Amino acid sequence: MNWQQVFEQLEAGQLRSATKDDNGVWHANVEVKQAILAAFKAGENVAFDGAYGGFVDKNNLAPRQFSPQDGVRLVPGGSSVRRGSYVAPGVIIMPPAYINIGAFVDEGTMVDSHALVGSCAQIGKNVHLSAGVQIGGVLEPIGASPVIVEDNAFISAGCILVEGVVVSEGAVLAPSVTLSASIPVYDAVNEVMLEKGAPIPRNAIVIPGTRPMQSEWAQKQGLSMQCPVIVKYRDEQSDAALELEQALR
């Protein structure tokens, strides 16, 4: 397929930048990434008129347009959804927000103000991306997996997810949690440190924490490093605290 065909299938939700195998492991779709990079190479910078007045970008990557029939609520005020991304019916996008090329945002998800869904990121059903959430994107290296947020996860304000991290179904990240491949995650419930690159477990509730630095000098200074900590797993009480989200839609 050429890049135009790939983009059409991405926007229809028929093709994705990453897929989950039978063992629950996510893998990047290299062919999709190659097509996206080919589109960047083929495009030429042009000035966009009309609804896009004042912008200059590749002529083949104009932002997507939605109609009421798409079932997407794109609230006025500076949001943009780039070509080659999928936004399912029932998604709400509050201004200003940005969904980049190759991203997939599934049904019933909220993308709140100042949230970024980076290139090729995969966002599941009924996810809440709160204000200021930054979901990192990845196009190169070509085989690198994007950030994954599975169904029914709640990502609170100011969270940062980068380097292909996976947040499993139903997990809750408290405000300002930062997840990356290089930051260890501690499970205080099961008293273990997650293996490097392991997904945040299903229904885990994660808060920002700290851990002491190990060098003698750092210990003398009382220095510590940021790390996410799983403090509990979702139950009826924690689910009730999130029910207001559905009432606001």
Q: Rounded to 5 degrees, what angle do the CA atoms 41, 44, 45 make?
A: 125
Among 47-61, 96-110, 189-203, the range scoring the smallest mean pLDDT is 47-61
Closest CA to 95 of 84, 79, 108, 83: 79
Among 17-21, 61-65, 107-111, the range scoring the smallest mean pLDDT is 61-65
Q: Could you tell me the residue ranges of all domains in the chain?
A: 3-247
Is the predicted pLDDT of residue 248 greater than 50, yes or no? no
Among 17-21, 54-58, 84-88, 126-130, the range scoring the smallest mean pLDDT is 54-58
Greatest Cα-to-Cα distance within the chain, rounded to the nearest angstrom = 63
* Tokens standing for residue 149: 């947020």
Of 239 and 158, more confident: 158
Neighbours of 110 (CB within 10 A): 24
Confidence tier at 241 by pLDDT (50, 70, 90): low
3-state helix, strand, coil in the chain (%, to 5): 20, 30, 55
Contact by Cβ (8 Å): 199, 230: no
- Residue 42 parent element (H or E): helix 30-42
Please tell me the pTM assigned to this model: 0.93
Is the predicted pLDDT of residue 239 greater than 80, yes or no? no
Is the predicted pLDDT of residue 50 greater than 80, yes or no? no
pLDDT for 245: 52
Mean pLDDT, rounded, for 47-74: 87
pLDDT for 244: 47
Query: Regarding the domain with residue range 3-247, which homologous superfamily does it belong to in the CATH classification?
Result: Hexapeptide repeat proteins (2.160.10.10)
Supply the mean pLDDT for the chain: 93
Is the predicted pLDDT of residue 107 greater than 70, yes or no? yes
Mean pLDDT, rounded, for 199-223: 96
